[in-house]
Structure 1
Amino acid sequence: MDTAKPMRADARRNYERLVEEAKLAFGRHGVDASLEDIARNAGVGIGTLYRHFPTREALLETLLRDKFDSQAATARELLDDPSPVDALRTWLLDIGRTSAQYRGLSESMMTALTDETSRLYASCHAMRTGLSHLVERAREAGELREDVTTQELLLLAHAVAWASEHVGSENAVDRLFDLVFGGLRAS
């Protein structure tokens, strides 16, 4: 049973403005964007931002929770794909694109995977579990190298996202991932 009181209308508006400003700021400046600027651009004080989001990670978690939950669900759906390796590639490419959305996000996600106290841990862990199933299925079908681990694939997806930040090309994630994925297929 949810015992949290509903937000007042003005508090809800402040919350929504903060989320929108955070999307813009993180999109422009990466996950290290100034929280003070986000609050100011939302028309509220920094105290209001911290009442809604006690940490930067809490704000990130709010922005990314739905996307991460969706990616976990997509992993489950892709288990029915006729080509296990194509399903794996599709999912990893989506992770790479998500990670490239905000400069510095890859590092936050990788940190969250190992920190059970992180607000992003549960969502990241659900995604990792989905990836594990896709990896296992692709291996069993003989379409993925036997020596490739789930952790390595996550690192590669995030490395591609990080590298794409420095390429400056609109389709950098796709191009770099094509190069990496070619070496992952079983001979």
Structure 2
Amino acid sequence: MKSKLSATDEAPLRADAARNRERILEAAEALFLERGAEASLDDIAKRAKVGIGTLYRRFPTRDALLAATSDERLLSLAEASRARDEKLEPSASIRAFVKELVNHASHYRGLAALLGTVLEEDTPGCRAGREEGRRLLQRAQKAGAVRKDVSFDDIVCMVTAISLSIEHGGSSKPRVAHLVDIFLDGIFTTSAT
């Protein structure tokens, strides 16, 4: 008896389907960079030289497509965070992660507003980003550095707010750092600041 694939398992793609998927991702990356996260899915399909049905078979929603284009950046972000774990105190680790997540959410104009739903997608990068954020938060809470009533969803709301502010007011590394510091000061316990 054959077992059914779960939502997170994917059957290997035929060679032509794999090429179509890659072309869709390349076209989406280019158009999202040019026009922002609200770029037309029809235009993405046209640039990829596939039909809109092919795009929707691979990526049933805009969020799924944004998650797929974000996958490698989110995987790298989570990996970098884990790599510096031994070097940084819990409050510094979460601060660095939030700054990187803000920079990621600012990669495409309009991504910040969709970040929460994109992070809920079931791609390896989205899972890694969520898991790392939750791990860092729990680590900081366990160390007494972050208030116990703060959730990962609260962190995502902070990142979204900062990213939207940067998107509308111009971005610079000092501005990102300043806004992250202001927001994080609100969740740190007095002993962590």
TM-score range normalised by the length of the shorter chain:
0.7 to 0.9
Is 1:4 matched up with 2:7?
no
Q: CA deviation at 1:164?
A: 1.0
Cα RMSD over matched residues? Answer: 3.0
Deviations 1:122-181 (A, max 9, x none): 754543332222223223434334554333222111211121111123434333223323
Name the CA distance, whole Å, in 1 between partners of 2:131 and 2:139: 13
Structure-2 residue corresponding to 1:95: 101
| Structure 1 gap segments, 5+ residues each | none
Q: Normalization by structure 1: what TM-score?
A: 0.76
Q: Percent identity?
A: 34
Q: 1:135 to 1:51 in 2, by over 3 A?
A: closer
Aligned residue identity for 2:140: A
Q: 1:44 to 1:130 in 2, by over 3 A?
A: closer
Q: Normalization by structure 2: what TM-score?
A: 0.74
Is 1:59 matched up with 2:61?
no
Structure-2 residue corresponding to 1:177: 180
* Contact 1:103-1:165 within 8 A present in 2 as well: yes
Deviations 1:59-110 (A, max 9, x none): 2232122223333334433432342211111111111111111233234331
**27-36 vs 51-60, greater mean Cα deviation:** 51-60
Q: CA deviation at 1:25?
A: 1.4
Name the CA distance, whole Å, in 1 between partners of 2:142 and 2:58: 46
Name the CA distance, whole Å, in 2 between partners of 1:102 and 1:60: 10
Secondary structure of 2:145 counterpart:
coil
Q: 1:145 to 1:40 in 2, by over 3 A?
A: same
Q: 1:6 to 1:135 in 2, by over 3 A?
A: same
Match of residue 137, structure 2, among 132, 135, 154: 135
Secondary structure of 2:15 counterpart:
coil
Q: CA deviation at 1:51?
A: 4.2
Q: 1:119 to 1:104 in 2, by over 3 A?
A: farther
Q: 1:141 to 1:38 in 2, by over 3 A?
A: same
Structure-2 residue corresponding to 1:19: 25
Aligned residue identity for 1:162: L
Name the CA distance, whole Å, in 1 between partners of 2:79 and 2:89: 18
| Structure 2 gap segments, 5+ residues each | 1-8
* Contact 2:67-2:118 within 8 A present in 1 as well: no
Secondary structure of 1:101 counterpart:
coil
Q: CA deviation at 1:2?
A: 7.3
